[in-house]
Structure 1
């Protein structure tokens, strides 16, 4: 039986990947020590999701720390060449948290990734290695693109080369402010590419926009759409940071993301990096997302506005996935913003009911 290692197995992408691979007949070894609860508090814990997965045949989770090279190597040595895929989703994912503790952020995101790459190279060199990177590797460079301000959102000016389909991988990652988080993820991203190019490993970096869905353990510092829906449903106050609430994000549902990594696993190559997100099919501004959440919940969101933008934050981001679709022509985004939000509400409602102001 093929073995897949999934780091961050209780998180949004990790849990979706784990459930999918179990359905495909894989044995899945999860590596998740619920560090998310340490980062953001008990409400962000992934234990509820790991609990759901624990009953699945073929799944075992190990509460190892990816910063511990010896522990990671021991896991890989135990399974060896039976490992055919490594799906690395574990991370410290917050801009704001990273600035308060850069050393831990870098150790988790950059050094942890290096430990996994080395363990894969030594024990399962033919395995497909999938890294969930981020569009924050481009820093705030997208904010220099020509833009126009519309009633509910910013849009790229028609003369921008990225206006039609979004931003592709030709955008430079240099000469920009990334945030501490962006730098640690960029370091990992480059190392994943280098292990593919230098050692010939089958590696890919998926530079995601907003990854989301019903499995998200959202909190204020991470998980835009899911946390917004949680606040709307429960009556919790929400803060909008800068850009008049007109900042635009594309959003990709976890199951669409897993479909992309499954396509790569079927025909892996070396050292690739792809932008991935909802593209022009699934994107919204903050203002537009609030209106959709209010309509679904049947109540107004209590919100306030903070005029200071987060450092390195994007005013506008929509991913151009043309390069990935050209390499994997069977792939398509299937979840709209409306469908994504309905899924988040349906999944979150039983967990958030006790918090509701009603």
Structure 2
């Protein structure tokens, strides 16, 4: 493995490993951690669930900031051990995961391998470090399953997942608790609510709808029973990153004799719920192109009809306060979209060779 932590940097007080650093949220989080002066090293396996070119572009931006992104898999125990030995991380921000609710029906093994097995390998390496790092990891609003109690609160039931993806995220929460209980690892889980924004994932609705609207292709908008609109607590990436940094900064140390370690779970959402149609209408306005919308019944995909976050716990713990409404956030996304892909989408079309559509 190429050396990524020089001796002077190892003396830095805070040293962060960001897994999934070439992914959407990982990229933004690593970027902000580095901007404030922390030592940051990324890890990513650059799989082809969506165009690898987008992940490489994110990693290139981080490299320009002196944030290396090591190409390795979480299940590679030897690579992880070598990386921890070299860098002596104080914090691990674990965002690497196989994403996507619907894709799980086609490739369930990828979710178990990445979200469950890979997470265990990571925590096994972490628990033997001296001192043991702090863990903050990505969970998901999907763990609330088919709950009809709104808004979702952290003490609501989360044992009836509607999708395999949700089941793996809930499994991670339970596994993290076991490492907290046995090894006194400080663990904080973050349940993200429909994150969107610049550099977003192509398989998510904001990006995929924009792509099809620009290309003049129809977009599918799913509906529940009796034409019920799907509604989401759309949360802008900048607000999510603010919550991530707040959770990292407020976390207690692991296995400390004077301060009890954390075992926390927080919702990170916007709290404002919008239907998918509202989001599409806003995109049409900003793109300046009318969408060809085709409504169709929601199949047995594991998607839920509505999400809505109660963020009281995160606000009280570290002042989490989302500031970006849907209109403002979509405007920032559209500005980035045309800057990155160009007005005609030719760069995007070239990038998407090998893309696995959801």
User: What interval of TM-score do these two structures reach, taking the shorter chain for normalisation?
Assistant: 0.7 to 0.9
TM-score (norm 2): 0.84
Deviations 1:169-213 (A, max 9, x none): 122122x34211111121112112322233222211101110121
Matched with 1:39 is 49
Relative distance call for 1:331 and 1:308 in structure 2 (3 A) is: closer
Deviations 1:28-67 (A, max 9, x none): 11101211xx223457x4111111221113x111100012
Deviations 1:215-234 (A, max 9, x none): 21322xxx222322333334
* Paired residues of 1:234 and 1:352 also in contact (CA < 8 A): no
Deviations 1:260-302 (A, max 9, x none): 121122220411111211113xx31111111111111121112
CA distance in 2, matches of 1:262, 1:308: 36
Matched with 2:167 is 183
TM-score (norm 1): 0.84
Structural mapping, 1:186-205, within 5 Å: 186-205=170-189
Matched with 1:271 is 263
Work out which of the residue numbers 148, 152, 170 in structure 2 matches 1:167. Answer: 152
Relative distance call for 1:125 and 1:183 in structure 2 (3 A) is: farther
Structural mapping, 1:1-358, within 5 Å: 1=12, 2-35=14-47, 38-42=48-52, 45-57=54-66, 59-80=67-88, 83-123=89-129, 125-140=131-146, 142=147, 145=148, 162=150, 166-174=151-159, 176-219=160-203, 223-243=204-224, 244=227, 246-269=229-252, 270-280=262-272, 283-328=273-318, 330-353=319-342, 354-355=344-345
**What secondary structure does 1:113 align onto?**
helix
Question: Which consecutive residues of structure 1, in runs of 5 or more, have no partner in the other structure?
Answer: 146-159
CA distance in 2, matches of 1:197, 1:62: 30
CA distance in 2, matches of 1:331, 1:172: 23
* Paired residues of 1:31 and 1:63 also in contact (CA < 8 A): yes
CA distance in 2, matches of 1:124, 1:256: 33
Question: Which consecutive residues of structure 2, in runs of 5 or more, have no partner in the other structure?
Answer: 1-11, 253-261, 347-358
CA distance in 1, matches of 2:209, 2:301: 20
* Paired residues of 2:212 and 2:219 also in contact (CA < 8 A): yes
Relative distance call for 1:177 and 1:258 in structure 2 (3 A) is: closer
* Paired residues of 1:242 and 1:309 also in contact (CA < 8 A): no
How many residues align structurally? 323
Give the Å deviation of 1:241.
2.3
CA distance in 2, matches of 1:236, 1:198: 53
Give the Å deviation of 1:133.
0.6
CA distance in 2, matches of 1:42, 1:32: 11
State which drifts further: 90-99 or 176-185: 176-185
Give the Å deviation of 1:105.
1.3
Superposition CA RMSD, Å: 2.0
CA distance in 2, matches of 1:349, 1:186: 36
**What secondary structure does 2:90 align onto?**
strand
Relative distance call for 1:310 and 1:235 in structure 2 (3 A) is: farther
**What secondary structure does 2:210 align onto?**
helix
CA distance in 2, matches of 1:261, 1:196: 19
